[in-house]
Structure formats: structure tokens, C-alpha cells
Amino acid sequence: MNRRVVITVTDERGAVVSDACSAEPPPPPAPTPTGPSVADCCSDLKRELGDLTNLLRQLLQKQQALQDEIDKLEKGNQAQAKNIQDKIDALPKPLNESQVGNVVDTHLERFRDPRFSLLGINIGADDHRDITFTGRGRFFAPFKDHFAVQAQGEYLYFRNQREAQFDIGLVDRIGAFQAGLFGSFKHVSLRDPSVSGAVPATWGKRP
């Protein structure tokens, strides 16, 4: 009959103490974890700096594109403003006060009926070498369609005689016919005061 005895040895903490001869060697300790190396840190930093550089380059490109667009819009606005200003400058300028007066006078003169006036003066001497004077004047002013006002005067001066006459009247012309109604005022003065006086008269005429 065979018997087998097993002996278990424990330490003071109760842990089993294996046989030094038969026990397997303990496993090697795990390697202590180490941090990243300097080369890895520089590589990561370089990569991040490159990404940041690319981001800044993209931002600068976008800013330049926006600036180009703004410059293009400003040039377009300046060209449009210049075009509008050129059109404004090409518009006729408003007339000033003197120009307006000239235009009004021109239009009034165009629609104004023509006037006719005549003036004649003679100065001389008679047989006794006394001064003589005669003067005549006539004024004709049409108005409306076929009416006119006619006025005329005459003055005679001699040494022993003075004579003045003034006529005024209304003339109406229809076709080839003309009629007028006049009033005449005449004053005669001779050397003798007793024969001086005024002679009014009213008369009409037609051609």
C-alpha cells in the first residue's frame, strides 16, 4: 500500500510558500509605461501648426475675395453715380431772372401788334427873316383784330401867327373798308389877341 503525503507551508500572513525547487520562477515585472517622446511632441506640434497655417491661408483668401467683391461694387457704384451726374449735367439749366425776363419780353414782342409813328420838324425863315417852325407827328396803334387808335398833331409857328391842332380817333377796318371816328382840337393865335381861340371838331372818315 502506497501513501502520499502533501505538506503545505505558509508564511506568517498565511500565504502558501511553494517549493523553491519545484516552483516556477515568478513572471517578470510589467514594463513601466513611458510618456511620448520629444520627436512625437514636435511632430504633433508641427502638424497642428500646419493645420492652423492652412486655416489662416483660407481665411486670408476669403477676405481677399470679399475685398475684391467690395472694390468691384464700389467701382460699379462710382460708374453709375458718374453716369447719373453726366445725365444731370446734360439737362437744360434753369433760366435765371434776366433770361426769364428776356424770354417774356420776346414773346410779348412777338404777339404785340405793330405800331406806326411819324414825326417831322421844319425850321426856317420867312420873307422878313423871322423864324418859322412847323412840326407834325402821327401815331397808329392797332389792337384786337381790326381796330386801331390813331393820334396826330400839328403845330405852326410864325411871327404873327401860331396854330396847333390835335386829332385822336378810333379806326375800324373790315376787309378792304376802313372807317374812323375822330375828335379834333385846334387852337389858333394871331398877333391880335382878340382873334385867338380854340375850335373843337368831330369828324369821321372812310377810304
Dist CA 192 CA 186 (whole Å):
18
From 139, 136, 184, select the one nearest 156 (Cα to Cα): 136
Q: Which helix (H) or strand (E) holds 110?
A: helix 97-111
Residue 28's pLDDT is 57
The 8-class DSSP code of residue 20 comes to: T
The pLDDT value recorded for residue 206 is: 45
Q: Max alpha carbon distance in the chain (Å)?
A: 214
Q: Which of 182, 175, 179, 177 is nearest to 200 (CA)?
A: 182
**Distance between CA atoms of residues 199 and 182, nearest Å:** 14
Cell readout for 41 is 511632441
User: 156, 134 in Cβ contact below 8 A?
Assistant: yes
The residue ranges of the chain whose pLDDT is under 70 are 1-7, 9, 16-40, 109-113, 192-207
| Cβ contact 184:169 at 8 Å | no
What are residue 137's phi and psi, to 5 degrees?
-145, 145
pTM of the model: 0.39
Within 13 Å, how many C-alpha atoms sit on residue 5's CB side?
2
Query: Which secondary-structure segment (H or E) carries 136?
Result: strand 131-143
Is residue 37 helix, strand or coil? coil
pLDDT of residue 22: 47
The confidence score (pLDDT) of residue 31 equals 57
Per the CB < 8 A criterion, the answer to whether 127 and 102 are in contact is: no
Percent of the chain topping pLDDT 70: 71
pLDDT of res. 163: 92
Question: Residue 101: its pLDDT value, please?
Answer: 82
